[in-house]
């Protein structure tokens, strides 16, 4: 009874400050059709490395050698892979990814995952892989990183670029990379992007039914036209006449 009274009279601490909610995203779930393609392409030898920060790690092959009779047997070594969650201040989200111990040490040495991703040396870009490339592109759309890149351009004597607000794209990418259905804002952004793609790539009516005497140009006819063997109206050029 006494212990109950002590528990009931103990003060309780309350806070009116709302807890800051952050998403936990996975880089390999980011929308690849929204992000420019990775310049080095997907890795074909160790495909698992496309879904994380594996650096240059690969499966290594070798032999087990018996000490007594010097017999050899084939074996392989897998990279030392771990799962780690980092907080990105620019994105306001946590990034959960698989990575090797060597990449983890590099991230700590660089001062965080953002510094690791934003380094622009060719060796670092090749080390990122498709997963790291996707995360790097989303990170570069934030206002904080755009301002940071402009400061670097000013230090190099270059003109700063105009800072654009891309919050809708960032919100859509983060929502897409989070398990579960898209929210209303992300669905509206997706419809706008689909409409802009249609307006960009469809030039008029792609059907030739409304044009009499017009047929689709074949590859052979295109080569003849580009080589200058025929006149612009499609008729052969007269002998001795020069087409300019």
Tell me the pLDDT tens digit for each residue of 40-60: 988 888 888 888 899 988 888
In the chain, how many domains are there? Answer: 1
222 in a structural domain:
no
Q: Which residue has the higher pLDDT, 236 or 225?
A: 225
Cα→Cα distances 11→1, 4, 14, 71, 186, Å? 18, 14, 10, 72, 43
102 in a structural domain:
yes
What is the span of the domain harbouring residue 148? 42-53+81-164
Pairing of strands 81-88, 93-100: antiparallel
The answer, as to whether pTM is greater than 0.85, is: no
Other CB atoms within 10 Å distance of the CB of residue 134 = 23
Helix ranges, 93-183 (H)? 101-110, 113-118, 122-140, 143-155, 167-176
Q: What is the pLDDT of residue 57?
A: 87
Average pLDDT value over all residues in the chain? 77
31 in a structural domain:
no
Confidence class of residue 221 from pLDDT cuts 50, 70 and 90? Answer: low
3-state helix, strand, coil in the chain (%, to 5): 40, 15, 45
154 in a structural domain:
yes
238 in a structural domain:
no
92 in a structural domain:
yes
Summarised one tens digit per residue, pLDDT across range 118-175 is 998 999 999 999 989 999 999 999 999 999 999 989 998 989 989 988 888 888 888 8
- CA 170 to CA 93: how far, in whole Å? 11
Confidence class of residue 22 from pLDDT cuts 50, 70 and 90? Answer: low
46 in a structural domain:
yes
């Amino acid at each position: 009874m006494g212990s109950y009274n002590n528990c009931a009279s103990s003060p309780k601490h309350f806070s009116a400050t709302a807890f800051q909610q952050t998403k936990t995203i996975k880089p390999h779930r980011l929308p690849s059709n929204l992000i420019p393609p990775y310049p080095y392409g997907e890795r074909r030898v160790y495909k698992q490395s496309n879904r994380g920060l594996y650096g240059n790690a690969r499966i290594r092959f070798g032999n087990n050698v018996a000490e007594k009779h010097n017999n050899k047997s084939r074996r392989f070594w897998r990279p030392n892979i771990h799962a780690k969650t980092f907080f990105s201040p620019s994105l306001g989200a946590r990034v959960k990814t698989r990575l090797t111990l060597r990449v983890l040490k590099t991230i700590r040495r660089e001062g965080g995952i953002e510094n690791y991703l934003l380094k622009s040396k060719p060796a670092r870009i090749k080390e990122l892989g498709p997963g790291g490339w996707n995360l790097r592109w989303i990170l570069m759309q934030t206002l904080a990183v755009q301002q940071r890149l402009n400061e670097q351009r000013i230090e190099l004597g270059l003109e700063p670029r105009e800072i654009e607000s891309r919050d809708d794209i960032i919100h859509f990418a983060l929502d897409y990379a989070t398990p579960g259905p898209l929210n209303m804002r992300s669905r509206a952004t997706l419809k706008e992007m689909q409409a802009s793609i249609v307006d960009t790539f469809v030039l008029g009516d792609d059907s030739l039914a409304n044009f009499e005497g017009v047929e689709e140009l074949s590859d052979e006819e295109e080569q003849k036209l580009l080589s200058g063997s025929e006149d612009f109206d499609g008729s052969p050029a007269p002998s001795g006449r020069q087409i300019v």
